[in-house]
Structure 1
């Protein structure tokens, strides 16, 4: 008889294949070693003597490079395979990062090109890593495995700046070299331990190489989900953009803002895996839509005219929504995509989030300057829109392909299965 009760946290982690453990540890190491966005401006202004405006251009180039990097990563994964995509992107990224301090003082345009390419290759691995995780993990464990991957990412993101700050006390150049070494270490581990997937599974088959992202874009229900995740990203990034402005406008110190961000990280690290173990039995449509709505409502609460306590409550509600929605959102593209399109489905989702994180700050700051309450009202409205898009778009991944085709036909969709 098939087992219907979901495995617990410890059992899930204990029974993960060794290749998955290598992948998750590698992702965590790479995230912990990714210091470039944090220390790039400080390096260029303090050690390389660049004006602040040019240093800002460099950071912008790094961020802009990430968007096409994620988009290209999905297509490259379907063409050459997940293993080659991860190893290749980490190798090139490591070499480019190591070149940054060596090129400081040379042509500014050359430096900008190198930094933009580093931003692109540094994100190119993301669709491949998610695709590889899906290939190596049983479908009924993928949501939990995705939560474990997020645990590694969040832990790395928490410890990384502390490690980077310690290295910066010695030399900013050392920061870049250690960042490069971490990326090259991950590339070596991937080539050493991760398998080449069989044909038909993110392997670069002929069918997968046709049509670019058009086959994924023809899946109209999936595009609705992608649109919903874009709206959530626009809202979520306001904790970096408008929340510090709101905290300062209320007369609080920067310590209050950093404490709220630390509270979010702490609760996610401690609570996401245990809560995901309970929630994974629920329909993905419910957890993804409801979690996205709760996340956006939590951010919107920052605008209520109340004391410090409302900022804490808003952070906890936002964090709860993140915990509920993020693991199934991470797993969903790999669960419902045709195997030969898995990289592009994942890349499309990741790109929509990257664009949301890129445009969200400009939208939020402009609205806050116009009227401080407007941005928080926008967050609530976008939360409703996101929940509707996701609720209408999500197709439960436990359906067989035939069932999925039949359901899509009832919805009047064109089913694309190359």
Structure 2
């Protein structure tokens, strides 16, 4: 019993109540996030779209997400974390309900883009709020638990969505809207505003004369990290955009796809809390290189997958890679951001995911249609490029983090 208590204290001890309410809102939201998992199948099976057209419509969600991520970062730094989260969740719930009753592909594409805006706005605010309330020494635990909650919700969503997709696509969209609304209620009742209005502490030499969004967009060290994360995101997006189409081509049912996604979520739920201790002795760049290499191997193995057992085996490999990558990826992102630009840096970082959600289906649909199973060799090659990039970019990134910390501490000490 003492060992279990000590393990829990090491894993989740000392985190403030506000973090746990943010965590709960994220969990509720993701547990009901059915629709986007099956949007490509919905378009091809219920609306008669070709794989290429379905990829472009799903890609519209990514285009909207790119705008929503930047908008969410700016609003979270200016307007506040809580206000941004509430506005985004309430808007997303209404748009998802409208999408449930839409029939024309053009309307669906427009609504998908708008949903992308609303879905992406909360990400910078969520992470900025976590960094606001969690002490630096405990942030790695907090980010690990955030990733755990995200995937616990995804596992629940995938199991239920596979069954609902075979019964009613309408139910997918309505349950998604309801879960988003429930998350908004939790935030409204329990999450206070975490943005503190205080003078900037980072020297102008670091952030520029007029610090703002352009600072993050011109930070070369940070943008190199963002580019590598984009390649990782393109790999990850294969599971929700291209893989369901490949499984359908192999004669597998939607419930089989739901099982593959649920397996990944179950592995993360069972093992993610043990990851921080496992990777602690190693440099973050090394961990990210190994994790991205595992993802490349897993997706590359789909070249020879033609049945459910092979898909399940490949999912185990790429899921282990995702588990190892999550804590160092989030921690590096937080370390590279000046305090007064925290949400803006988060928005640029999270821009990789809506960008990947456009590139992955738009180009992936064409690739799958013309290359067939060789598409997965291309995906695996991208993963290997990202792994090599992390090894090369690691040392200069670590020097930049050390310099930023030193520059930030000097004015704080002088003020004291």
TM over 0.5: yes
Q: Distance in 2 between matches of 1:209 and 1:69?
A: 26
Q: Distance in 2 between matches of 1:345 and 1:385?
A: 24
Aligned to 1:189: 186
Correspondence 1:399 to 2:402: yes
Q: Distance in 2 between matches of 1:29 and 1:119?
A: 19
**How many Å apart are 1:228 and its aligned residue?**
0.8
| Contact persistence 1:82–1:131 (CA under 8 A) | yes
154 and 244 in structure 1: CA distance in 2 versus 1, 3 angstrom threshold: same
Aligned to 1:124: 121
Aligned to 1:97: 96
Q: Distance in 2 between matches of 1:130 and 1:201?
A: 21
301 and 38 in structure 1: CA distance in 2 versus 1, 3 angstrom threshold: closer
Give the 3-state SS of the residue equivalent to 1:399 in structure 2: helix
Aligned to 2:327: 327
Q: Which runs of 5+ in 2 are unaligned?
A: 1-5, 201-206, 409-416
392 and 77 in structure 1: CA distance in 2 versus 1, 3 angstrom threshold: farther
Aligned to 1:272: 272
**How many Å apart are 1:190 and its aligned residue?**
2.2
100 and 217 in structure 1: CA distance in 2 versus 1, 3 angstrom threshold: closer
167 and 344 in structure 1: CA distance in 2 versus 1, 3 angstrom threshold: same
Q: Choose which of 142, 146, 169 in structure 1 pairs with 2:143.
A: 146
Give the 3-state SS of the residue equivalent to 2:351 in structure 1: helix
- Please, which moves more after superposition, 67-76 or 306-315? 306-315
Aligned to 1:81: 80
277 and 111 in structure 1: CA distance in 2 versus 1, 3 angstrom threshold: same
Aligned to 2:345: 345
Q: Choose which of 128, 152, 155 in structure 2 pairs with 1:158.
A: 155
Q: Which runs of 5+ in 1 are unaligned?
A: 1-6, 406-418
TM-score (norm 2): 0.77
| Contact persistence 1:41–1:52 (CA under 8 A) | no
**How many Å apart are 1:78 and its aligned residue?**
1.9
Q: Choose which of 179, 187, 198 in structure 1 pairs with 2:196.
A: 198
Q: Distance in 2 between matches of 1:288 and 1:296?
A: 12
| Contact persistence 1:9–1:273 (CA under 8 A) | no
Aligned to 2:23: 24
Q: Distance in 2 between matches of 1:245 and 1:138?
A: 43
**How many Å apart are 1:392 and its aligned residue?**
3.4
| Contact persistence 1:243–1:302 (CA under 8 A) | no
TM-score (norm 1): 0.77
Matches within 5 A, 1:104-253: 104=102, 113-162=110-159, 176=173, 178-196=175-193, 197-200=195-198, 212-240=212-240, 243=243, 253=252
Give the 3-state SS of the residue equivalent to 1:391 in structure 2: helix
Aligned to 2:284: 284
26 and 303 in structure 1: CA distance in 2 versus 1, 3 angstrom threshold: same
**How many Å apart are 1:294 and its aligned residue?**
2.0
| Contact persistence 1:272–1:323 (CA under 8 A) | yes
Aligned to 2:412: none
Q: Distance in 2 between matches of 1:384 and 1:42?
A: 29
Q: Distance in 2 between matches of 1:109 and 1:376?
A: 30
Structure possessing the higher relative contact order (Cα contacts under 8 Å, 6 or more residues apart): 2
**How many Å apart are 1:253 and its aligned residue?**
4.2
356 and 109 in structure 1: CA distance in 2 versus 1, 3 angstrom threshold: closer
Task: State the number of aligned residues.
Answer: 389
**How many Å apart are 1:324 and its aligned residue?**
0.6
Q: Distance in 2 between matches of 1:178 and 1:302?
A: 31
**How many Å apart are 1:133 and its aligned residue?**
1.1
| Contact persistence 1:23–1:129 (CA under 8 A) | yes
- Please, which moves more after superposition, 281-290 or 109-118? 109-118
